[in-house]
Structure 1
Amino acid sequence: MEIVTLPPTAQGPATWFTGDVWFDVLAGPPAPSRLRVNRVRFAPGARTFWHRHAAGQSLHVTQGVARVGTRDGRVVELRPGQTVWCPPDEWHWHGARPDAFMEHLAMWETTDARDGSETTWAEAVTTDQYEATPEEADR
């Protein structure tokens, strides 16, 4: 057993996020573990840029209402207790609704390279993409 010292809360960089976003690393153990878990807090209207994960990503909403979108234009809203799976290499974004804060757990695996290349970042989500009419995720 090993007690792990985790880094302090960090603000999400403007190269990955629109709006105010803060995250805490909850799990990032050394090799051979590949698990990564961050608690991410989004201010109203804040969201990620488009990105994809080599091994996929699970998002579990703990507070507020999340919006998650994909390149085909689909946007879903998720409530506390709901989880969405974004398969490997699926371009997606996630963030808070325009009128409320949101918190989720972001869970993914590193690649063998362990150099951050498991996530590929792209351009910012446009206002039109973010404001697309969302559908409710099934409960």
Structure 2
Amino acid sequence: MEILKKPATMKLPAQWFTGDAWADVIHRGEEPSRARANMVRFAPGARTAWHSHSLGQTLHVVSGVALIGTRDGVIIEAHPGDTIGCPPGEEHWHGATPDQFMEHIALWEGDEVNWLEHVTDAEYDGPRTSTRTSH
């Protein structure tokens, strides 16, 4: 067993994010492991660009409200404690609501991320489906 050294917090690049977002590496497996886990913090209104992961991605919301969108126009509004799975190859985006910070743990395998264009304001502002049945 060992205590792992924590890397410095990274500001995430504008080419892949709209608005401000930061990541803390929780785990980056060494070969043969391909496991990845990051705590990602999004400022209000911040979001990823469209992207996909060759082996899928799982998002676990820690604080705030996460928006997770897919190409078919579905936007899930996920709350703390919710876990959302994005299957392999699915183009999606995720980020914070316009009015509050959001943190999630992102889990995936390998470095095969296909980064695409930025999410437009119209896509970001689309109708949402909440994970909560009552408000």
TM-score by length of 1: 0.92
In 2, distance between residues paired with 1:42 and 1:134? 18
Shift of 1:138: 5.2
RMSD: 1.1
Aligned residues: 133
Letter in 1 for 2:74: R
Letter in 2 for 1:124: H
Q: Give the 3 Å change call, closer, same or farther, for CA 87–138 of structure 1 in structure 2.
A: farther
Q: Deviations over 1:30-57 (max 9, x none)?
A: 1111110000000000000000000000
SS at match of 1:60: strand
TM-score by length of 2: 0.95
Instruction: List alignment gaps of at least 5 residues for structure 1.
Output: 111-115
Letter in 1 for 2:48: T
SS at match of 1:129: helix
Match of 1:40 in 2: 40
Match of 1:77 in 2: 77
What is the identity percentage for the equivalent residue pairs of Structure 1 and Structure 2?
55
Match of 1:131 in 2: 125
Equivalent of residue 121 in structure 1, options 103, 109, 115: 115
Alignment of 1:1-139 (within 5 A): 1-110=1-110, 116=111, 118-137=112-131
In 2, distance between residues paired with 1:84 and 1:11? 24
Instruction: List alignment gaps of at least 5 residues for structure 2.
Output: none
